[in-house]
Structure 1
Amino acid sequence: MTGPRVFRFLNEKGSLDAHGWDNPAKAKLWRYNQHYFDDLNAEGADSRGAWHQALITDWIAANPPGQGSGWEPYPTSLRIVNWIKWALAGNTLNEAAQHSLAVQTRWLMRRLEWHLLGNHLFSNAKALIFAGFYFDGPEAANWRKQAMAILFRELPEQILPDGGHFELSPMYHALAVEDLADIVNLMTAYGSRLSAAEQALARGCAARLPGMLRWLNIMSHPDGKISFFNDAAFGVAPENDCLHAYAARLGISVAPLAPGLTYLVDSGFARMARGSIVVLCDVGRIGPDYLPGHAHADTLSFELSLGTERVIVNSGTSEYGTSAERLRQRGTSAHSTVQVGNEDSSEVWSGFRVAQRARVYAVEANETREALILAARHDGYTRLPRGPHHSRSWQLTDTTLRVVDRLEPAAKGVARYYLPNGVIAEATSSDAGTLRLASGRVLRWYAAGATANVEDSTWHPRFGLSLPSQCLSLAFTGDLTFDLTFDPDFA
């Protein structure tokens, strides 16, 4: 909130006076954010207590039960949790708000999102368990019982053995870390009321958090922020340092990452770290077969940092919905990987749908004294006439990242390397050039077997944000070797 009745969501301003609570002139996700009530627990919320009291009163009056976007199960779930967190932090929910909170929970109880599953159903269960502890009586006990049944079922499904969230989005993974930490925190606060089953759930959530925090570290850049694989953007989930601090207050911590090659077998990602160079690679499936809504066609894409400067990225996520721009951002051409015939490696369509999916195989991960080596193949283009398999390998030494692409049988492809805002590419010939970083460092690149072009593009590190950037585009047939060299003294 930027004023008593003024908001800024997804980098877009709005107000209750101008837009009300459910104005279709605003995108669905913007309206959802109105109904989340995240600001009740945001930084500096204590100074906005009077705004929040008035906002809750206004919401109750303007949103009769069951009417409008705010009563859909997902925003209802987040709002229930936020109101209860706010109350448990020492604020007062008056009688009308207490009554509304109970009505919202009853409404949610009858509309759990079994048809969507994933993070939606988990959020439903989290809301039920928060309300189940906040209120007393047999109805509240039933909410807790339903929440327990969902969480016991979903925890082993949604949290993979390597610690990753199964939708394979670093952003949604960070949200899942917060969810589990919240549940541990809540159950610690209500420890004297826990049943044996609830105690077991609290232990199970706490036991998973170290692995989840480690996964978050692996899939983040040295700047301390998440990478952009599948739906991911800054400013939605809590920052990494906030999540680690929260976990530490609960007595949970993880050791710093070691350099070298780390392959997350269950998630299908890998991290190559040598000196100050970090390369993050996607060598896995796009997500759960039954839940690809947050998937992008980004198979075998990668991101690279030199120290705290991002050098190569995927182009990010700035919007949801069913627009042409949403579809473009999900497509292969918006990622640092290879595209064949203007097709996507996985057939993304609509806002949250995927038809045929690329399958990754032949993953190899090796570490020697001289280099870190990762290789994989996928079959996403074999649905095309004479469609090729795409294989890619990464080799990282102290001075060079070498990326080798092969299309078999030989076919025309385009390898794209997206650069964040502030990194400037120059082609000094048809197959060589430089990358100039914001710090002034200059990296040299050479593309054997390709014709290179530097194209104007956009980078989307936050929802509602499109920054001018560049893309290095390499057209090739059959085989391509790309070398990026850097100063070994810096590395």
Structure 2
Amino acid sequence: MLELANYNYFLDKEHKKLNKISFKFLNVREDLELPIKDWNNKSSRLWQFNLHYFDWSRSWLEEILLEKKQIKYLKYLPHLIDNWIDFNPISKGDGWHSYTLSLRIRNWILLFRFFPELATKKRLNSLWIQTCWLYSHPEKCHGGNHWLENIISLIISSLQFNSIKSEEIYEYAIISLKEELDSQILKDGGHQERSASYHILLLDRLTELAIIIEYFKQERPFWLIEKIHLMVEWIEIASLEKGRMPRFNDSPNNLYESNTDILNFAKSFLNKERKILTPVRDNLIDLIFSNEIKNNSNRYISIDNKLGIRELKDTGWYFLRPGSSWELVFKNGTPCPKHQAAHVHSDQLTFDLFFKGAPVFAEVGTSGYENISERLYERSGEAHNLIQFAIKSDFNKKKINWIESVEVWKSFRAARKSQSLFNKSLKINNKLVVSGENDSLKKINAAHRREISISLDIDGNLDFVLIDQISSRIDLYWRQWWHLGPKVDKKVLKNIIKIAEEKYGAKHTICETYYSEGFGIREKRLSLCLTGEISSGIKKIEIPVKIKNNCNA
């Protein structure tokens, strides 16, 4: 039996004093009357999902293990678990969605192991029913991170029970996991949905799963260790200063706790080497530290020197680091799997630039998943640092049909998705260069190639050159976006505007937009939109700009 710290003395069995509880998800707080009779029909469906996850109970557990005083809401745990069971009949509401089931199943198991007296017959029976429902209602047809979440939960939950059915579930899920990891984890270690946040989240889940498998089955599957190893290496290459990650596609930072802690968790498992971890992860890693099972993998050695150019070719991300804390990330590759477009953005050939971990030029980000105008904007091309084109003959229409590299629609849909035709990165003397081309303009018999070069002057300032080369048989209208970081002064845009107007006859607009680090977060900033026209033939728009190293001052 899985033995974890026992904190039974915190549990309160008196229900009459519990009248109200407050939850804060996605930067939104709601006070709920107890018992919660309606777990559904909240103002935001994603907020509602968070309520059903029971991830908040894991946060409470972290506080207890940190040996803080008894947290105010811990006494609510028995009642909230029973409350969920009583007011969420089988198949009714979002509590029976396969994704919410997956997360809640694992969180309940964790609670039952830390607080054995919580594991009453009623609650264990509900856990088993939820597991069987998930087994018969997986999200296999959708694939992606949701299907992996389903599989991971089925494996962990099946190991908590001892029956013919639980063995059946385990065998099915472990085979499915190997197949899906071979499919979903790219050769460069990235997850096929090309989202840093979901990649980090899945690494955390897979590490926890690997520990549970080793504890119960006394084995370390090589194929699982190999994928964890690759995913760790991917994060180390992609990690920016101050713990930031690229925000391409849907990648809200508050989807996970700390990429550093999750990295340490995975490395602790791979190397069987103790690192500083959050309390729950520390308790989990303790389960296997005394194991004498042979480590069927080479030790993981961290990537120390990331200066120069680093490529994640299968993911389609390129990292240029000339030194002095400047970092540029360029994107051009397969946008997403053909069958899974839920988290894709129209952001091919975009770039983000950082100095000392702070954004200088950065896309909007992801502030929510609701099907509203902000969601459509955040997924569109205009929310990213790229150039867009439209057929000039269509200009007199009421609405210009800007060509999107990915035709996104609604919250999680996409139609046509451009594919990469060319990518190249190289170092020329002290200059780092990246370039790429995709087929987004193929439907109008045109082509576009983007090249970015960066280098440092003797004072550590950045010399930045952006070149957009267009080949077209027809006249086109273009617009180019430059989105500033929230703390960057608009004076950075001065020379960009001057060159664009004097050399290319462009017009400019500086507008107030927003920058989002995660769900429920929107921070004001300025964005520049350059617009112009180009005639048929081969044309080039070249914008050189010097960016001083006090731009974030």
Verify same fold: TM over 0.5: yes
Q: 1: distance between equivalents of 2:92 and 2:185?
A: 34
Taking a change above 3 Å as real, the CA distance of residues 138 and 23 of structure 1, as seen in their structure-2 partners, is closer
User: Does 2:455 match 1:408?
Assistant: no
The alpha carbon displacement at 1:124 in A equals: 0.8
Partner of 1:441: none
Partner of 2:27: 11
- Which residue identity does 1:352 align to in structure 2? F
- Which residue identity does 2:29 align to in structure 1? K
Q: Deviations over 1:290-328 (max 9, x none)?
A: 111110000011111111221111101111132222112
1:256 aligned to which of 304, 311, 328: 304
Partner of 2:176: 150
Partner of 1:397: 455
Contact 2:362 2:485 in 1 (8 A): yes
Partner of 1:139: 165
- Which residue identity does 2:527 align to in structure 1? C
Q: 2: distance between equivalents of 1:413 and 1:233?
A: 30
2:541 aligned to which of 469, 480, 487: 480
Partner of 1:165: 191
Partner of 1:436: none
Aligned length, in residue pairs: 469
User: Does 2:89 match 1:31?
Assistant: no
Superposed, 1:313-392 pairs within 5 Å as: 313-341=362-390, 342-383=402-443, 386=444, 388-392=446-450
The alpha carbon displacement at 1:236 in A equals: 0.7
Task: Tell which structure's C-alpha radius of gyration is larger.
Answer: 2
Q: 81-90 vs 165-174, which deviates more?
A: 81-90
Q: 1: distance between equivalents of 2:64 and 2:83?
A: 18
Taking a change above 3 Å as real, the CA distance of residues 432 and 214 of structure 1, as seen in their structure-2 partners, is farther
SS at match of 2:171: helix
* Structure 2 residues not aligned, in runs of 5+: 1-18, 66-70, 272-299, 391-401, 457-461
2:513 aligned to which of 450, 453, 457: 457
The alpha carbon displacement at 1:230 in A equals: 0.5
The alpha carbon displacement at 1:88 in A equals: 3.0
Partner of 1:267: 315
Taking a change above 3 Å as real, the CA distance of residues 323 and 428 of structure 1, as seen in their structure-2 partners, is closer
User: Does 2:113 match 1:50?
Assistant: no
Taking a change above 3 Å as real, the CA distance of residues 210 and 238 of structure 1, as seen in their structure-2 partners, is farther
What is the TM-score of this pair, normalised by structure 1? 0.89
User: Does 2:266 match 1:247?
Assistant: yes
Contact 1:447 1:481 in 2 (8 A): no
Partner of 2:7: none
2:352 aligned to which of 303, 316, 323: 303
Q: Deviations over 1:45-94 (max 9, x none)?
A: 55453233332121111112221110111100111011112333455322
The alpha carbon displacement at 1:12 in A equals: 1.1
- Which residue identity does 1:55 align to in structure 2? L
Taking a change above 3 Å as real, the CA distance of residues 105 and 447 of structure 1, as seen in their structure-2 partners, is farther
Q: 2: distance between equivalents of 1:134 and 1:49?
A: 24
Q: 235-244 vs 216-225, which deviates more?
A: 216-225
SS at match of 1:134: coil
SS at match of 2:416: coil
Partner of 1:438: none
Taking a change above 3 Å as real, the CA distance of residues 470 and 319 of structure 1, as seen in their structure-2 partners, is same
Q: 1: distance between equivalents of 2:240 and 2:496?
A: 31
- Percent identity between matched residues is 25
- Which residue identity does 2:310 align to in structure 1? T
SS at match of 2:254: coil
Partner of 1:312: 361
Contact 2:237 2:306 in 1 (8 A): no
The alpha carbon displacement at 1:165 in A equals: 0.2
- Which residue identity does 2:418 align to in structure 1? A
Taking a change above 3 Å as real, the CA distance of residues 430 and 453 of structure 1, as seen in their structure-2 partners, is farther
SS at match of 1:140: helix
Q: 2: distance between equivalents of 1:421 and 1:489?
A: 14
* Structure 1 residues not aligned, in runs of 5+: 434-444
2:497 aligned to which of 426, 431, 454: 431
Partner of 2:10: none
- Which residue identity does 1:379 align to in structure 2? D
Partner of 1:206: 225
Q: 220-229 vs 163-172, which deviates more?
A: 220-229
The alpha carbon displacement at 1:174 in A equals: 1.0
Q: 2: distance between equivalents of 1:159 and 1:126?
A: 15
SS at match of 1:413: strand
Contact 1:231 1:295 in 2 (8 A): yes
- Which residue identity does 2:364 align to in structure 1? S
- Which residue identity does 2:248 align to in structure 1? F
SS at match of 1:271: strand
Q: 352-361 vs 83-92, which deviates more?
A: 83-92
Q: 2: distance between equivalents of 1:343 and 1:332?
A: 9
Partner of 2:103: 78
1:40 aligned to which of 54, 57, 60: 57
Q: 1: distance between equivalents of 2:126 and 2:191?
A: 32
Contact 1:446 1:483 in 2 (8 A): no
SS at match of 1:244: helix
Q: 2: distance between equivalents of 1:307 and 1:448?
A: 32
Q: 1: distance between equivalents of 2:502 and 2:80?
A: 57
The alpha carbon displacement at 1:40 in A equals: 2.1
Q: Deviations over 1:184-233 (max 9, x none)?
A: 121122244x5xxxx43xx3222222321221233332121222101111
Taking a change above 3 Å as real, the CA distance of residues 33 and 219 of structure 1, as seen in their structure-2 partners, is same
Q: 2: distance between equivalents of 1:245 and 1:448?
A: 51
- Which residue identity does 1:110 align to in structure 2? S
Q: 1: distance between equivalents of 2:128 and 2:379?
A: 39
Partner of 1:469: 525
Contact 2:405 2:417 in 1 (8 A): yes
What is the TM-score of this pair, normalised by structure 2? 0.80
- Which residue identity does 1:82 align to in structure 2? N
Partner of 1:442: none
Taking a change above 3 Å as real, the CA distance of residues 178 and 101 of structure 1, as seen in their structure-2 partners, is same
